[in-house]
Amino acid sequence: MKHIVIIGGGFAGINLARALAGNNNFEVTLVDKNNYNFFPPLIYQVATAFLEPSSISYPFRKLFRKKKNLRFRLGELKQVVPAENRIILSNGDLQYDYLVFATGAETNYFGMLNVKQHAIPMKTLHDAIAMRNRMLQQMEQAIITQDEAERKKLLTFVIAGGGPTGVEISGMLAEMGRTIVLKDYPELHGKRGEIYLVDGSEALLSPMSKQSQKDTHNALRRMGVRIRLNVHVKDYVNDTVILDDGDTIEAKTLIWAAGVTARIFEGIPATSYGRGKRMIVDGFNKVQGTENIYAIGDTCLQTADEKFPNGHPQVAQVAIQQGKHMAKNFKAMETGKTPTLFHYHDKGSMAIIGRNKAVADLPPTLHFRGVIAFFLWLFVHVMSLINYRNRLKTLYNWTVAYFSKDQSLRMIIRPDNEK
């Protein structure tokens, strides 16, 4: 049996592993620093207390039960030793026949140390829980403070990044301000902060159609979100967001959804990395300058696909398709067949803005908005969750929230040493 080691259990890694399950030609070990898979597109719903963490996450070991050729290893990659077909983890070594990087991307702060230290990213479950705790604690503080300026800072949120995450969390916070806050915090009636959405582009959701951009912009404006385009966050000092046009916004919370970058790993040649620290791969996802090392998902830069000469977008569908395609190629190579080049099939883009408010672009030129797009978004995201348990829990929570315009998940749960 050939040993395939997969680094990272996100969309790309988990789809590769599951596609190889039950294949007697391969022993597969998935390595991840967390012991669970989670669904990043719904992180913001955990952050705003509309979903619980277990609704969008599932432990790897339970997922791999009864899959005799799948193994899980909790650990973090420290170094690759290509000459020895070996990797060094934080807790030991592993030998491999094939090594696959599926490490995704991490938050890019563009060198701004203050932003890195004080802003809240939206990449992991830890980020989401930290955001939920901060939001709820600031509501409590806003009730008791006698300083009007301080109260407004506590209730003001700045979201940097006008992509799907930024749009969706802005809409969620706006809806919470109009419904839930008035129910749970009657002391704050008539005392509210602002929600700012800041992006350096000329429009929100820049990869989507012009109509989706316009519909999203108008919907958020009607919901009370202040949109600032063609401007970047320059710094974040003393609860003040500093923009590069000279303006400032007083806010206790800066949510960072403005960019991602891949990671560099010791042992992979410097010449193997391209734009955004992504590993340069050929049409078969083999890393440039290596023999048996591959990269899939957000961490790779593939320019061999003629429809995407500058590389594929760093979205879930690319990762899912590359994971499944990589499995087919491994099976082909092991049986003496010729592997095939990867071609991304764009299934469209969508974003939810609020209750009964969403946009969706489906190829070739279909555009939906409003209720139709809203339920289309719900269906796609429920079906994309990893198993039936997650789907049922999420569907139940969304059904309750839809009809009640409320949820009962707003608990501040944190370690004793976390303030």
Whether 150 and 237 map to the same domain: the answer is yes
314 closest CA partner among 359, 279, 361, 269: 279
Degrees, nearest 5: CA angle 95-105-34: 55
Residue 225 lies in a domain: yes
Q: How many Cβ atoms from other residues are within 10 Å of residue 156's Cβ?
A: 22
Is-contact 136 409, C-beta < 8 A?
A: no
Residue 194 lies in a domain: yes
Element (H, E) at 98: strand 98-101
Whether 236 and 354 map to the same domain: the answer is yes
Whether 298 and 251 map to the same domain: the answer is no
Let me know if 168 is a catalytic residue.
yes
Whether 235 and 379 map to the same domain: the answer is yes
Segment-wise mean pLDDT, segments of 10 residues, the chain, 419 residues: 96 97 96 95 91 92 94 98 97 97 95 96 93 92 94 96 95 89 86 92 94 96 96 96 96 94 96 96 97 97 94 94 98 95 94 92 92 92 87 88 79 70
Would you state the pLDDT for residue 112? 96
Which residue, of 311, 334, 357, is where some domain finishes? 334
Whether 123 and 170 map to the same domain: the answer is yes
Residue 384 lies in a domain: yes
What span, in angstroms and rounded, lies between the C-alpha atoms of 8 and 18?
13
Whether 158 and 218 map to the same domain: the answer is yes
Whether 366 and 318 map to the same domain: the answer is no
What span, in angstroms and rounded, lies between the C-alpha atoms of 419 and 416?
8
What's the first-to-final CA gap in the chain, in angstroms?
A: 50
Residue 199 lies in a domain: yes
161 closest CA partner among 42, 47, 41, 257: 257
Domain region containing 383? 113-259+348-404
Is-contact 90 48, C-beta < 8 A?
A: no
SS3 285: coil
Q: Which residue is associated with the tokens 């957000």?
A: 298
What span, in angstroms and rounded, lies between the C-alpha atoms of 59 and 36?
4
pTM score, whole prediction: 0.92
Whether 101 and 121 map to the same domain: the answer is no
Residue 415 lies in a domain: no
Which residue, of 305, 334, 363, is where some domain finishes? 334
What span, in angstroms and rounded, lies between the C-alpha atoms of 331 and 4?
12
Q: How many Cβ atoms from other residues are within 10 Å of residue 375's Cβ?
A: 14
Q: Which of 168, 175, 266, 418 is catalytic?
A: 168
Q: Is 16 exposed, middle or buried (0-12, 13-18, 19+ CB in 10 A)?
A: buried
The domain total for the chain is 2
Which residue, of 277, 302, 334, is where some domain finishes? 334
SS3 16: helix
Q: Tell me: the pLDDT tens digits for 226-274?
A: 999 999 999 999 999 999 999 999 999 999 999 899 999 999 999 999 9
The backbone torsions φ and ψ at residue 301, rounded to the nearest 5 degrees and listed phi first, read: -125, 105
Residue 61 lies in a domain: no
Whether 272 and 373 map to the same domain: the answer is no
Residue 39 lies in a domain: no
Residue type, 322: Q
Is-contact 101 293, C-beta < 8 A?
A: yes
Is-contact 255 239, C-beta < 8 A?
A: no
What span, in angstroms and rounded, lies between the C-alpha atoms of 190 and 192?
6
Residue 56 lies in a domain: no
What span, in angstroms and rounded, lies between the C-alpha atoms of 375 and 63?
28
Q: Which are the contacts of 327, defined by CB distance < 8 A and separation ≥ 6?
A: 15, 16, 19, 20
Whether 233 and 146 map to the same domain: the answer is yes
Whether 277 and 363 map to the same domain: the answer is no
DSSP assigned state of 278:
P
What span, in angstroms and rounded, lies between the C-alpha atoms of 212 and 208?
6
DSSP-assigned states of every residue in 43-56: HHHHHTTSS-GGGS
Would you state the pLDDT for residue 125? 93
Q: How many Cβ atoms from other residues are within 10 Å of residue 267's Cβ?
A: 16
Whether 240 and 125 map to the same domain: the answer is yes
Report the CATH number that the domain containing residue 174 is assigned in CATH.
3.50.50.100
Report the CATH number that the domain containing residue 86 is assigned in CATH.
3.50.50.60
DSSP assigned state of 69:
T
What span, in angstroms and rounded, lies between the C-alpha atoms of 127 and 146?
30
Strands 98-101 and 92-95: unpaired
Would you state the pLDDT for residue 416? 65
Q: Which are the contacts of 224, defined by CB distance < 8 A and separation ≥ 6?
A: 174, 177, 178, 195
